[in-house]
Amino acid sequence: MKIYLCSEVVRELDFADQCRFAREVGYDGLEVAPFTLSDEPQLLSSDKIAELRKIADGEGVEIAGLHWLMATPEGLSITSTDPAVAERTVDFGKRLVTLCADLGGGYLVHGSPFQRVLEDDNEADSRQRGFDYFAAMGDAAGDAGVRYLIEPLSRNDTRFINTVEEAITIIEATGSQALGTMIDCYAAASNGEDVARALEHWISRGVVSHIHFNDDNKRGPGEGSTDFLAIVETLRKLDYSGTTAVEPFIYQPDGCSCAARSIGYLKGLMGRRPE
């Protein structure tokens, strides 16, 4: 099981230093938030993309994929019923799919709660726009040879897709083999789920192949009350071979310290003998 670091946690470092830091503290690589590369990540030149990939290769780390896709630029929404906004957002998403593939990544995680807000006065059409967006991303991801993962989020953050079941409904409706879903530990816990049981249920059914590690207080794993020992033992029992990434939202005392503590904690649990 590989563990990646979500790059925004150490966004104060330049990309080369992010790669170096991740390697030195024990991560397998980075899961990149596009806004950390540019305010207009969809416009990165082929030369810049090649440079980033060369930097990662030189540091011996992987660029696993992308997440937090729509932090910038402003004005994006997958649920907007405005045709111009919808068209711009689909175009942006397709460009990020290409960016992911060009960086050597294998997946994109679609969270971005503020860009999937349902319109109260037109909820049915708003949901349909979201379905249409994911259908388009399934086609684009299939063509690019990557996977596009729909992330169920906390009900505190959005009303659109809070459970794996909801994500599966969209995936099955599109019929796309390139669409998938994942579990974010904070989101699952905040929605009242037993995270270890949820992981066992969905991984054993071949539905989930990516996990975000974070605690129920939005900090790094092991800094809240989520039972990460149970999570790690579940993954061990299932012989989980998918990907994972550390994605705290609150960094105490700072991003680098939080990232280092998180990987140390997780590897400590992984090194324990099952009781």
pLDDT tens for residues 98-115?
A: 999 999 999 999 999 999
Q: Are 22 and 53 in contact (CB under 8 A)?
A: no
Q: Are 195 and 231 in contact (CB under 8 A)?
A: yes
What is the rounded average pLDDT of the residues 17-43? 99
The CATH number that applies at residue 150 is: 3.20.20.150
Predicted confidence (pLDDT) at residue 55 exceeds the cutoff of 90:
yes
- DSSP string across 52-101: HHHHHHHHT-EEEEE-STTSSSTT--SS---HHHHHHHHHHHHHHHHHHH
Given this model, what pLDDT does residue 228 score? 98
Average predicted confidence (pLDDT) for the chain: 98
Predicted confidence (pLDDT) at residue 230 exceeds the cutoff of 60:
yes
Which residue do the tokens 């997958």 mark? 78
Predicted confidence (pLDDT) at residue 272 exceeds the cutoff of 80:
no
What is the rounded average pLDDT of the residues 122-136? 98
Predicted confidence (pLDDT) at residue 49 exceeds the cutoff of 60:
yes
Predicted confidence (pLDDT) at residue 275 exceeds the cutoff of 60:
no
What is the rounded average pLDDT of the residues 147-161? 98
Q: Is residue 11 part of a domain?
A: yes
The least confident of 138-142, 178-182, 252-256, 269-273 is 269-273
Q: Is residue 170 part of a domain?
A: yes
What is the rounded average pLDDT of the residues 34-54? 99
Number of domains composing the chain: 1
Q: Are 222 and 252 in contact (CB under 8 A)?
A: no
What is the rounded average pLDDT of the residues 252-263? 98
Q: Is residue 275 part of a domain?
A: no
Q: Which residues contact 5 (CB under 8 A, 6 or more apart)?
A: 18, 22, 27, 29, 30, 31, 245, 246, 259, 263
Percentage with pLDDT > 70 across the chain? 99
Q: Is residue 68 part of a domain?
A: yes
**What is the domain extent for residue 136?**
2-270
Q: Is residue 79 part of a domain?
A: yes
Predicted confidence (pLDDT) at residue 274 exceeds the cutoff of 90:
no
Residue 118 DSSP one-character state: P
Length of the chain: 275
Predicted confidence (pLDDT) at residue 9 exceeds the cutoff of 70:
yes
Predicted confidence (pLDDT) at residue 10 exceeds the cutoff of 80:
yes
Q: Is residue 239 part of a domain?
A: yes
Q: Is residue 126 part of a domain?
A: yes
What is the rounded average pLDDT of the residues 20-40? 99
User: Of 70, 50, 49, 64, whose CA–CA distance to 19 is shortest?
Assistant: 64
